Structure 1
C-alpha cells in the first residue's frame, strides 16, 4: 500500500482518496467512521489502514451541515483578554470539547450591532447554540434564533425569556459588607464602572442596600472601564472627594488591584487604614503583592451549568427558560483587617 499524500499536498485528504487506496466504495469509508454502522471486519481494517497512511480525518463539519447540525457553539464575548473572561472562555471551551462540540470564540465590540452581527454569523454557520459572555442580544435577534432553532444562553446577564447562568451577586455583596463591617469599618465606598453591566450593577446596589440597612451610607464612585486603570481613577477621586473610606468594595478584582495600588501610593496602609474586597478571585488575587480578599466565582461550575442547560434545551426546545444561580465564596486574604 503506497503513500499517496504527495498527490494531495495542500488539500485535505478526501474520503474518495481513502476508498481508492483501500479498494472499497465511498460508502464503505463512510460506514467505517460511523459508530454502529454495518461493515465487514476485514473491510473496516482496510479502510482504517488506508486512512492511517493518508492521514485522513472525518469531516465533521460537512456531516453536521448535511444533518443541519454543525456542532459549533459560539462564545460571544468582549475583553477576552481580561483574567476572569479568559478563565471563563477556557472553562467553557474545555466543557464543550468534552461534549464533542467545537467552540467558536467571537470577540466583539461594545455595541448592540456588534452582538447582532456575531449572532447572525453563527446562524449562517448553523451553530448549535450561542453563549453570551458579554452583551445582550436584541429582541429581534432572539426571535430570529428561535425560528432557526438555535438556543441562546447568557452568563451573568439579565434577559427575560432566555436561558441564563448567574452568580449570586446579592449574596456576594452581603458577604463583602459583613466582612468589612466585622473588621470595624464605618466609612464605606463602592467602586464600579461608569456604565455597569446588570451583574456589576446588582453587586453595587446590593452592597449599598446592606450598608443602609445597618445604618451606614456607602459612597459610590463610578468611573471609566471595569479595569485596573478604572480602579486607580476611582480611588483617586474617592480620596479627593472627602475623608478617606476605611472600607472599599470593588465590583471586580481588576478594579480592586488599581484601587489598591493607588491607595498604597497615597500613603494609606492596607488593611490597617483601609480594607478592600474584590469580586471574581482571578489568579493574580492570590499573588503576594495583592493577597486580595475577594468573592470567588467558579468558572468550571459555570461551564458545567451551561452544558447542562444546552442538553436540556436541545432535548426539549419548547420548555420554559431556565435561570440557574450558583453561590460565590468569600476568600479571605490580607486586604481586610482582622476582626476586632
Structure 2
C-alpha cells in the first residue's frame, strides 16, 4: 500500500504529456503536435478538442525539447557581475521581463569574482547552448566575450567597450559634461568627483567627461575614490573629500558622483560625520536614478538611465542579429535625462 501511494505521488508530479492530451481528446498524438504548431494543417474542430483537453489537463508544450530538435534553445544568457547591486539589479529585472515576453528563456549567469566561480559560470552558459548572450556592465571578464565569439553566439553588450559587437550604451559623456556645466553656471567653484579607482568603462567615461568639461571652464576638480561604486564607496569618497582642515576655501562645494549608490553614501557621511548641509554647503549630483534616489531622505538630483528602454533596445539588437548574423555591428546610444530634485540649488 505504501509503495503504491509512493508511485502515485511520483506520477502526480510528472508533467502532462502530449499522449495524455491525445487520449483525453480522442485524437492521435500527431494531431496534438499539429495543434500546437503554428501554420500546421489541422481541422478546426480537431484543434478545438485538443486545446480543450490541454486546458483541462494543464498541458504545456515542451519548448526545451522543440528547441533541441530545431537546434535553437531559446535560452539567452545574461552575463553579469553582482546582479543584485544598484542600477544593475533593475536592468537585469527589465531584461528578464523583456526576454520572457519575446518567448526566450533568460539564463542569468552571475560570474562571481573567484576563478572557480568564473569557470562554473562559463560552463553553465555554453553547456546549455544559449542562442545569444547579453553581457552587462560591471566586470564579467573578456574571456566570456572570446568564448561566445568562438561558439558563434550573437553578442549584445550593455555599457561595455568591446569592439565588433552590438552595443547599447547610455550617453555617459553628455550627461557628465552637463553636470559640470550646471554646477559651474550655478556658481560652484570648488568641484569634486566621487568615483572608484578601478572604474568600469562606463564609470571611467563619466569621470573623464566631467573633469574635462570642468577644466575647460577654468575649474579644477578634486577626486575622491572609493574601493567600489557602492554605498560604502561613497562614504570612503566623502572621507577623502571632506576630511581636510575643514576650511570652506578648500572644501568642495559640489560633488558629481559616478552613480547614485555612491551619492547616497556620500550624502549620509557628509551629513552625519561632517555636519554638512545638502545642498546649502555641498551640492550633489548622482547618476542612474535608482528608486532610492527619490526617497525623502535624499531627493537626489541625478541622471536617469531607463532600464526598460535599455532592455527594449537590447532585445531589438538581438532580433536583428538573429535575423541577419552578418550585418555590421550597431551602437545605440540612449540619452540620460536630467532629473532635478533637492540636492542641488536651482541658482
Structure 2 length as normaliser, TM-score?
A: 0.90
Where does residue 245 of structure 1 map in the other structure?
252
1:329 aligns with 2:341: no
Asked whether the equivalents of residues 112 and 135 of structure 1 are also in contact (C-alpha less than 8 Å), the reply is no
Q: Partners of 1:53 and 1:261 in 2: how far apart?
A: 57
Q: Deviation at 1:303?
A: 1.0
Q: Deviation at 1:162?
A: 1.4
1:280 aligns with 2:288: yes
**Greater Cα shift, 70-79 or 162-171:** 70-79
Q: Deviation at 1:258?
A: 0.6
Q: Partners of 2:153 and 2:284 in 1: how far apart?
A: 42
Q: Partners of 2:132 and 2:214 in 1: how far apart?
A: 41
Q: Partners of 2:172 and 2:142 in 1: how far apart?
A: 24
Q: Is the partner of 1:34 in helix, strand or coil?
A: coil
Q: Partners of 1:171 and 1:241 in 2: how far apart?
A: 31
Q: Is the partner of 2:84 in helix, strand or coil?
A: coil
Q: Is the partner of 1:212 in helix, strand or coil?
A: helix
Q: Deviation at 1:145?
A: 2.7
Q: Is the partner of 1:280 in helix, strand or coil?
A: coil
Q: Deviation at 1:60?
A: 0.8
Q: Partners of 1:237 and 1:275 in 2: how far apart?
A: 16
Asked whether the equivalents of residues 112 and 136 of structure 1 are also in contact (C-alpha less than 8 Å), the reply is no
The structure 2 residue matched to 1:138, chosen from 114, 135, 142, is 142
Q: Is the partner of 2:287 in helix, strand or coil?
A: strand
Listed as ranges, the gaps of 5+ residues in structure 1 are: none
Q: Deviation at 1:22?
A: 2.5
1:19 aligns with 2:27: no
**Greater Cα shift, 43-52 or 294-303:** 43-52
1:160 aligns with 2:127: no
**Greater Cα shift, 213-222 or 246-255:** 213-222
Q: Deviation at 1:320?
A: 1.6
Q: Is the partner of 1:189 in helix, strand or coil?
A: strand
Q: Is the partner of 2:187 in helix, strand or coil?
A: coil
Listed as ranges, the gaps of 5+ residues in structure 2 are: 1-7
1:197 aligns with 2:200: yes
Aligned Cα root-mean-square deviation (Å): 2.0
The structure 2 residue matched to 1:71, chosen from 63, 70, 74, is 74
Residue correspondence of structure 1 range 110-125 to structure 2 within 5 A: 110=113, 114=117, 117-125=120-128
Structure 1 residues 143, 132: CA separation in 2 closer, same or farther (over 3 Å shift)? Answer: closer
Structure 1 residues 109, 144: CA separation in 2 closer, same or farther (over 3 Å shift)? Answer: closer
**Greater Cα shift, 267-276 or 38-47:** 38-47
Q: Is the partner of 1:211 in helix, strand or coil?
A: helix
Asked whether the equivalents of residues 78 and 108 of structure 1 are also in contact (C-alpha less than 8 Å), the reply is yes
Where does residue 301 of structure 1 map in the other structure?
309
Residue correspondence of structure 1 range 98-117 to structure 2 within 5 A: 98-110=101-113, 114=117, 117=120
Q: How many residues align?
A: 334
Q: Deviation at 1:148?
A: 3.4
Structure 1 residues 113, 174: CA separation in 2 closer, same or farther (over 3 Å shift)? Answer: farther
Write out the 4+ residue segments of structure 1 that deviate beyond 6 Å after TM superposition: none
Asked whether the equivalents of residues 112 and 137 of structure 1 are also in contact (C-alpha less than 8 Å), the reply is no
Asked whether the equivalents of residues 226 and 232 of structure 2 are also in contact (C-alpha less than 8 Å), the reply is no
1:219-274 superposed Cα distances (whole Å, 9 cap, x missing partner): 11112111111101110121124532001010000000010111112111111111
Q: Partners of 1:146 and 1:76 in 2: how far apart?
A: 14
